[in-house]
């Protein structure tokens, strides 16, 4: 396109007009450093109904951090809350897998929870909030996972309102853990929270002493959690991984994440036949170690059959109560001398480990970004949740702008 003198004259006129309008008049919605006076949150006001509500931008206290949100993933926990309100949080601003850029900080904030400097412009994530025990740090060895703490995105509404990551902004307050993750891309940052669940699970698995570099490892369930499990195992150098799922497409994805073989349980009529298929996938062996990554009680019952005598199992699929599962304690546990560990959520220390995992996974070429199959703007958040409820895709994310 050719820009002639008339165009230039017109542009100059417009620019001058814009400059005249700026002080105190046309830009009334924005304050000095571009922070608007009001912003939106996505408030779940009743079951399966999120409304965008506009509130005044909160005061940023001396210990607070105001973050302009870039994106946030939808977690299974969010979907449960959206559909049934099991936590009794309504009205609530959900979203705990979020990330964004610091736009304003209180004068007391200088470093993040790992001791890294923080400044305006840095990209951050939050993890737990230890309101009642603010002395807890990521270096505590005692298990302090989310079970004993609050998390942004699962807080009841209050007069601040900016409490969850499905919003334009979030106010991070004193006692919150916060991490500077400016060296990770947006997709990686959105995957930090779910990936931390797997870092924790693998740490639990390692505590059995059974998981080794050359172990035969079975991962049952290839949703986002199972796929991330495979990626974590592969990134730490475990190469003999068999994925089990009922969806061919997910099993293909499992291979991209680092599984060498896969077993589709739908192709096998009974547990004997299925066990034989697992054995075949490990070239005639049962698994040394297995990760159970589904919320299915039947899947929990089955997995013992796939593990060798003296093997190990990490059960991490039951984030919420999925009912009782039956096993035969004699055959499944005692006679085989299975070492079983449960895993739930993560600790702050796992969180920091996760940042390195994400960099290494990218370094060895695992296509983690493909886990985010759907991206919606904040205005379409109900559609985003409905997509999740329909079990379409893998990770659904809300991306601002």
- Compute φ and ψ for 198, nearest 5 degrees: -80, -35
Which CB, 77 or 113, lies closer to Zn ion? 77
Q: How far is the CB of 141 from Zn ion (least distance, A)?
A: 24
Phi, psi of 129 (to 5 degrees): -115, 120
Among 75, 100, 19, residue whose Cα is nearest residue 319: 75
Q: Which is nearer to Zn ion, 289 or 318 (CB)?
A: 318
CB of residue 194 to Zn ion, shortest distance in Å: 6
Q: How many residues bind Zn ion, per CB under 5 A?
A: 2
CA distance 226 to 238: 15
Residues 58-87: x/- map of binding to Zn ion (CB under 5 A)? -----------------x-x----------
Please report how close the Cβ of residue 154 comes to Zn ion at its closest, in angstroms.
9
Between 262 and 388, name the residue whose CB sits nearer to Zn ion: 388
Least distance to Zn ion from the beta carbon of 75, Å? 3
Q: Are 213 and 389 spatial neighbours (Cβ–Cβ below 8 Å)?
A: no
- Residue 148 or residue 246: which is nearer to Zn ion going by CB? 148
Contacts of Zn ion in 23-42 (CB under 5 A): none
Question: Which of 146, 286 has the CB closer to Zn ion?
Answer: 146
Rounded to a whole number of angstroms, the minimum distance from the CB of residue 345 to Zn ion is 8
Distance CA(43)–CA(12), nearest Å, equals 43
Binders of Zn ion among residues 76 to 135 (CB under 5 A) are 77
Tokens encoding 59: 């005061």
The distance of closest approach from Cβ of residue 77 to Zn ion in the complex, given in angstroms and rounded to an integer, is: 5
**C-alpha torsion angle, residues 287, 288, 289, 295 (rounded to 10):** 30
Report the relative pairing of strands 123-129 and 97-105 from DSSP bridges.
antiparallel
Maximum Cα interatomic distance, the chain, rounded to a whole number of Å: 89
CB of 125 to Zn ion, least distance (A): 12
Q: Which is nearer to Zn ion, 94 or 242 (CB)?
A: 94
Q: Please tell me the distance from the alpha carbon of residue 373 to that of residue 365, in angstroms, as a whole number.
A: 18
The answer to whether 98 and 166 have CB atoms below 8 angstroms apart is yes
| Closest residue to Zn ion in the complex (CB) | 75
Nearer to Zn ion, 75 or 303 (CB): 75
The whole-angstrom separation of Cα 224 and Cα 392 is: 12
Q: Which residues bind Zn ion (CB under 5 A)?
A: 75, 77
């Amino acid at each position: 396109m050719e820009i002639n003198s008339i165009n230039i004259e017109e542009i100059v006129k417009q620019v001058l007009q814009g400059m005249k309008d700026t002080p105190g008049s046309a830009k009334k919605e924005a304050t000095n450093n571009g922070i608007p006076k009001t912003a939106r949150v996505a408030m779940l006001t009743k079951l399966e109904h999120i409304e965008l509500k506009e509130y005044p931008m909160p005061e940023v206290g001396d210990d607070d951090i105001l973050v302009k949100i870039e994106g946030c993933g939808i977690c299974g926990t969010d979907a449960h809350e959206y559909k049934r309100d099991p936590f009794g949080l309504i009205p609530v601003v959900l979203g705990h897998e979020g990330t964004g850029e610091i736009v304003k900080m209180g004068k007391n904030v200088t470093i993040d929870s790992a001791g890294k400097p923080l400044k305006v412009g840095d990209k951050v994530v939050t993890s737990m909030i230890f309101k009642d025990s603010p002395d807890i740090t990521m270096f505590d060895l005692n298990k302090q996972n989310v079970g004993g703490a609050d998390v942004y995105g699962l807080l009841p509404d209050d007069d601040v309102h900016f409490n969850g990551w499905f919003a334009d902004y979030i106010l991070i307050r004193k006692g919150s853990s916060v991490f500077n993750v400016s060296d990770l891309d947006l997709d990686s940052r959105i995957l930090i929270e779910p990936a931390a669940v797997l870092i924790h699970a693998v740490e639990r698995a390692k505590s059995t002493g059974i998981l080794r570099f050359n172990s035969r490892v079975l991962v049952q369930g290839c949703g986002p959690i199972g796929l991330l499990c495979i990626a974590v195992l592969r990134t730490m150098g475990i190469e003999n991984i068999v994925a089990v799922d009922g969806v061919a497409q997910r099993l293909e994805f499992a291979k991209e994440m680092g599984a060498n073989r896969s077993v589709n349980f739908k192709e096998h009529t009974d547990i004997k036949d299925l066990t034989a298929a697992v054995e075949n996938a490990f070239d005639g062996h049962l698994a040394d170690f297995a990760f159970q990554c589904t919320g299915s009680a039947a899947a929990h019952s089955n997995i013992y059959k796939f593990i060798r005598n003296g093997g190990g199992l990490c059960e991490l699929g039951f984030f919420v109560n999925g009912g009782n599962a039956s096993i035969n304690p004699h055959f499944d546990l005692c006679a085989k001398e299975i070492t079983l560990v449960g895993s739930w959520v993560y600790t702050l220390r796992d969180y920091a480990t996760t940042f390195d995992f994400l960099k290494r996974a990218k370094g060895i070429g695992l296509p983690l970004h493909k886990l985010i199959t759907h991206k919606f703007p904040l205005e379409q958040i109900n559609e985003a949740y409905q997509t999740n409820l329909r079990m379409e895709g893998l990770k659904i994310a809300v991306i601002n702008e």
